[in-house]
Structure 1
Amino acid sequence: MKIARSIFLIALLALAGCAMRSDLDVVRRDNDELKSRLFRLEKDLGGVRTETRAGIETTLQDFERERADARKGLADLQAAMDGMKVDLQGMEGKVDDLSLVAKKPADEINLLKEDLERRLTAIEEKLSALQKKMTNLETAQAKPPEPATPEALYQKGLDAYRNGSYAAARETFSRFLEQHPKHDLVVNAHYWSGEAYYSEKNYEQAILEFQDVIKNFPGKEKVPAAMLKQAAAFNEIGDTKSARYVLRKLADEHPATEEGKRAKERLKTLK
């Protein structure tokens, strides 16, 4: 039994040894295969690294070329802009020159216009003076000669009044009073000047002219007429109180005259 058991154990050990060698061979083969795979992987990885490095270098080179091209393009653009600035400055200078050239004729035209205007003004002034002189000459020629006597001058004023030329009548009576202040017809000239103012409805001035007759020529035959007409002028301006006073004075101081009688009648109707 012991021998058989021993033989059995030996056989088991032999089998176990065979099994272990077989397993070891399998492990060795697997190990070799792993090494082979690892080698291939390392080889492939090296190729990838080489390709990657080459691609990166290529990309960097392309980037550098593009950057160089961009720099060159930027430099060209800057040069073009500088050239445009120079051209623009030249154009501005030409425009300024053209402006000066255009302005010069305008200035000359303005100066010529001002000179012509001055000449035209001078001619107009001379023409105006000449026309005035001609008018004066024509007036002097058309103007009738001054009456030779004071009576003729007075009559001229009276004729103008009767023709309705009241301003001309006053102007003539004024000349008469200035030239002949001591003449007997002076009171009449004042009276008819008052009548002319009254006819022009310048009642205030008429009152003053009639007062000149009343005050400065008492006793003259024109005084009652002046008082009657002065009362009428006061009534025209609404001063009935003064009008009534003058009429009453006229009636009291000159009752026998035609004017005094008319004054009494008007006092009855004057309110």
Structure 2
Amino acid sequence: MLLAVIVAAGCGTSKRLADVQQQLGTIQQQLAELEAKSPSRDELAALAEDLRRHLQALGDSGAARDQRLEELAARVERAASALDGVGLELDDLAAEIEAAQEELAALRTATEETRRRLPAASGPSPVELPSDPQQLYDGAYAHFQRGRYQLAIHGFQRYLDLYPNTDLADNATYWIGECYYRQQELQQAINQFDAVITRFPNSDRIPSALLKKGYAYLELNQRDPGVAQLQEVIRTYPGSDEARLARQRLAELGIDAGP
């Protein structure tokens, strides 16, 4: 039985390894395409030299010189703007590549650990999980702080898959909801906040989950459930910061929430 569990874990890790490799390949292909279509610094220098040569050739022809100057200056400006825009895209892709490479390295290590355990698998010894829980959680939270919400969702979900009963499981569930909320995927956010409330009834994240659930309903133009969630925050956690924020939002809606 233990051997079967380890083999299954190894298969799952190998599949995830292949998924990340494919993701990395796609990102690198996008990076190559962006680099191929972007104007280079050499091209901008050539445009500037073209500008200088034409100004010299035009000499005393003031009107023609001014017209040519405007045309060439516009060309340089368009090329520079294009280069800046592509540069931002390249920066984003580079960050994604770095994150994918980090995960790829971790998955490779996990795969090797699983393979090394296979020959000695016997008896009731527990199966060791392939990742350090705190490192996995911290990595996902770092993605969240940087606005890389899809990577954060993936990291927190992997944490929950591996460590569903730890002290940080409620936090991981909540932050997935926050990621969806910030991406305006509001129904998915509501589902995650519900999961915090139902799966972790003693969590200190429940007031925030109720508050954000109410916000999400209101943004979906579902006023009645939104108001109900905010009122529940005030009723159940009257002295909390979340209750203060709930009162403010209700006041904005013209609803008296009491003292």
**TM-score between the two structures when normalised by the length of structure 2:** 0.49
Structure with the larger helix share: 1
Give 1 or 2 for the bigger CA radius of gyration: 1
Does 1 or 2 have the higher relative contact order (CA < 8 Å, sep 6+)? Answer: 2
